[in-house]
Amino acid sequence: MLIPLRAADGRCGAKAANLGRLLRAGFDVPAGFVIGGPGGDDGWVRELESALLDLGPGSFAVRSSAPAEDSRQASFAGQLDTTLGASTTAQVVEAVRRSAGSGAGPAVLGYAARTGQAAGAVVSVIVQVMVDPEAAGVLFTRHPLSGADQVVIEAAGGLGDKVVDGTVTPQAWTVDGGRVAGPGPAEAPVLSRAQVLALARTGRRIEAMFGLPQDVEWAVAGGKVWILQARPITTSPLEAAPVASGPGMVLVRGTPASPGVTLGPVRVITGLDDVDRFRAGDVLVCRTTSPAWTPLLARATAVVTEVGGMLAHAAIVAREFGIPAVVAAPGAMTTLADGQRVVVDGGAGTVTAATGETSSR
Amino acid sequence: MSHQTPADVLVLHAVRTLGYGDTARIAGRTGLPEDEVAGHLLDAQARGWAAHHSFAGEGGWSLTEAGKAQGERLLAAELDGAGARAAVEEVYRDFLPLNEVVAAVCTAWQLAAMGVGEPAMTLAKAVTTLQGPATALAGVEARLTARLDRFVGYHHRFATALSRAGDEPAWITGTDRDSCHRVWFELHEDLIATLGLVR
């Protein structure tokens, strides 16, 4: 029931899955674990005490990890259900229950309706060691308003929660290559130039790993950059209207068969005579796979098949290569257009139009 | 004595079950000399049945759709010529439940290795559970090779992979070696090709 954060995948919700992937890739993420669906039975309560002891002394941050895609707007409701500084087991239990309940809140239900996802899905809850930062905040690997290819960092002294919920005006830096623009001389900066550059580098590495521009919550403590959360920037400047600012629309839905979220161009491969059109980094879209497809899977960024299940050979091979897989996605070969850029979420079982692109083709 | 498949058909069929492989690997699978295999491959290429691809610098052979169809015609003629169709169909029916077990164990083991999966599948349990299909595979292979000699080797390869998996888990589902899953996947493809089925 308790899953180490390092092992978290799509079943643990997008937030935990992303943190698990960051941990496995060697980023500094505060230690923790995920409680899968604590709204159900109470088995997790018995395991909690020893799990907290394993994390060591100190206080904990408790946050929900909804199964739906974790955009900043969508997770606003989640912010209300974040508990920082729980220190006793009883406090953590109470905080976990509160976070788990957030999955049925009106904001979440509204979001689920917009994205066509099943509402009231089981919410996982993340419990992590709290870091005591000198400074914290958010960073974007694209300018959140202009869309320019710059890293924008917003920071405040201390915990950073005030930056996230927008109740203080943070100091802001823009990093464009090696050029750094920061707050005016009147302000005492909360970050050094070296820290700003280190944050920008970390943001770029996270972006490269996920293959999408990222929106990252971070903290600087003891000379280290800690990653508290990372998610794709799902809004583009052209989609600033509230109705359109959700994540891209779901084009195809199937059985989630291998966790992970990646972006790439669709390549619909109809048969053996078609395989030479496939390029490394493509999203392989096909009916099903036989051994002849293994070299394609080896170079694919994700795979989507029309038939099969969790136990399909395609799913087993995809997991072996560590790429997201969505199987049993009816109509994938006709709905998805060759060359169309899509985001494949192998933990949620969805294929979504990439940011700034619609279903029109 | 069971039916012996001609060398050119063996080569074409090895490309089908391997999916993709270089000449040396195809020779290894057929037990034929490499230069003879190379000749058959060039012949198949000239007839539009096989294609040479280069993925990330490594060259290898796979079938074309025409080659796949040609292979199925040859295998069907062989199957009926040997009077083996009913027997192989019966084996395939017995294979499917075993296939479920193997796929389920491979999946459970992969999920456990990722830290999901409940109840957690341990390596020891995965290896123990795969012993059942491994033993059954000996019988499956015996029934097949009584009719068609070319089915020889699957049990030995699977058992070898399984015997190594306890020390090195990659032998369960690895794609870079003759792992349990890869051997099983190839047998599945072999049966599908032999019976002219669609996945």
Q: How confident is the model at residue A167 (pLDDT cuts 50, 70, 90)?
A: low
- Whether residue A243 is predicted with pLDDT greater than 50 in this model: the reply is no
Region label for B154, one of left (φ > 0), alpha (ψ between -120 and 50) or beta (otherwise): alpha
- What average pLDDT does this structure show over A138-152? 78
Q: How confident is the model at residue A101 (pLDDT cuts 50, 70, 90)?
A: low
Give the burial class of A320: count Cβ atoms within 10 A of its Cβ; 0-12 exposed, 13-18 middle, 19 or more buried: buried
Residue A158 distance to chain B (closest CA, Å): 34
- Window from A55-69, A220-234, A252-266 with minimum mean pLDDT: A55-69
- What average pLDDT does this structure show over A125-154? 83
A213's CB contacts (< 8 A; 6+ apart) are A140, A141, A142, A207, A232, A233, A355
Residues of B in contact with A307 (CB under 8 A): 199
pLDDT of the residue at B116? 64
Q: How confident is the model at residue A258 (pLDDT cuts 50, 70, 90)?
A: confident
Kindly report, residue by residue over B7-46, the tens digit of the pLDDT. Answer: 999 999 999 999 999 999 999 999 999 999 999 999 999 9
Give the predicted TM-score (pTM) of the model: 0.56
Q: In this complex, which of A259, A290, A298 lies closest to B199 when CB atoms are compared?
A: A290
Residue B136 distance to chain A (closest CA, Å): 20
- Whether residue A97 is predicted with pLDDT greater than 80 in this model: the reply is yes
Q: In this complex, which of A1, A3, A272 lies closest to B64 when CB atoms are compared?
A: A272
How much of chain B exceeds pLDDT 90, in percent? Answer: 79
Partner residues linked to A216 by β-bridges: A139, A230
Q: How far apart are CA A21 and CA B123, in angstroms?
A: 23
Q: In this complex, which of B17, B63, B181 lies closest to A316 when CB atoms are compared?
A: B181
pLDDT of the residue at A205? 92
- What average pLDDT does this structure show over A81-110? 71
| Predicted complex ipTM | 0.88
Residues of A in contact with B185 (CB under 8 A): 291, 313
Q: Name the 3-class secondary structure at A217.
A: strand
Taking CB atoms and an 8 Å limit, are A295 and B20 in contact across chains? yes
A164's CB contacts (< 8 A; 6+ apart) are A79, A137, A138, A217
B98, two tokens:
């075993």
pLDDT mean across residues, chain B: 92
- What average pLDDT does this structure show over B140-163? 96
Q: Number of A:B CB contacts under 8 A?
A: 96
pLDDT of the residue at A108? 44
Residue B1 distance to chain A (closest CA, Å): 30
pLDDT of the residue at B56? 55
A252's CB contacts (< 8 A; 6+ apart) are A304, A326, A329, A331, A332, A335, A336, A350, A351
Q: How far apart are CA B56 and CA A295, in angstroms?
A: 10
pLDDT mean across residues, chain A: 79
pLDDT of the residue at B178? 94
- What average pLDDT does this structure show over A174-191? 82
Kindly report, residue by residue over B103-144, the tens digit of the pLDDT. Answer: 989 988 888 787 665 566 889 999 999 999 999 999 999 999
Q: How far apart are CA A142 and CA A33, in angstroms?
A: 30
How much of chain A exceeds pLDDT 70, in percent? Answer: 77
- Whether residue A239 is predicted with pLDDT greater than 70 in this model: the reply is no
Pairing of strands A261-268, A283-286: parallel
- Whether residue B2 is predicted with pLDDT greater than 80 in this model: the reply is yes
- What average pLDDT does this structure show over B141-167? 96
pLDDT of the residue at A237? 34
DSSP A243: G
- Whether residue B64 is predicted with pLDDT greater than 60 in this model: the reply is yes
pLDDT of the residue at A86? 87
Judge contact between B8 and B40, C-beta under 8 A.
yes
Range among A18-27, A141-150, A179-188 rated most confident:
A18-27
pLDDT of the residue at A259? 83
Q: How far apart are CA B79 and CA B194, in angstroms?
A: 7
Q: How far apart are CA B87 and CA B79, in angstroms?
A: 10
How much of chain A exceeds pLDDT 90, in percent? Answer: 25
pLDDT of the residue at A158? 78
Q: Chain A residues with CB-CB distance to B under 8 A?
A: 1, 3-4, 6-9, 11-12, 20, 259, 271-273, 275-276, 280, 287-288, 290-295, 298-299, 307, 310-313, 315-317, 319-321
Q: How far apart are CA A125 and CA A108, in angstroms?
A: 15
pLDDT of the residue at A70? 46
Q: How many other CB atoms are found less than 10 A from the CB of residue A46?
A: 10
Residues of B in contact with A292 (CB under 8 A): 16, 19-20, 62-63
Residues of B in contact with A294 (CB under 8 A): 19-20, 175
Kindly report, residue by residue over A300-342, the tens digit of the pLDDT. Answer: 999 999 988 878 888 889 988 889 999 989 899 999 999 999 9
- Whether residue A238 is predicted with pLDDT greater than 60 in this model: the reply is no
Taking CB atoms and an 8 Å limit, are A307 and B116 in contact across chains? no
Taking CB atoms and an 8 Å limit, are B63 and A275 in contact across chains? no
pLDDT of the residue at B43? 97
- Whether residue A47 is predicted with pLDDT greater than 70 in this model: the reply is yes
Q: In this complex, which of A288, A291, A299 lies closest to B19 when CB atoms are compared?
A: A291
Q: How confident is the model at residue B79 (pLDDT cuts 50, 70, 90)?
A: very high
- Whether residue B188 is predicted with pLDDT greater than 90 in this model: the reply is yes
Q: How confident is the model at residue A72 (pLDDT cuts 50, 70, 90)?
A: very low
- Whether residue A102 is predicted with pLDDT greater than 60 in this model: the reply is no
Q: How confident is the model at residue A172 (pLDDT cuts 50, 70, 90)?
A: confident
Q: How confident is the model at residue B154 (pLDDT cuts 50, 70, 90)?
A: very high
The residue among A67 and A49 whose pLDDT is bigger is: A49
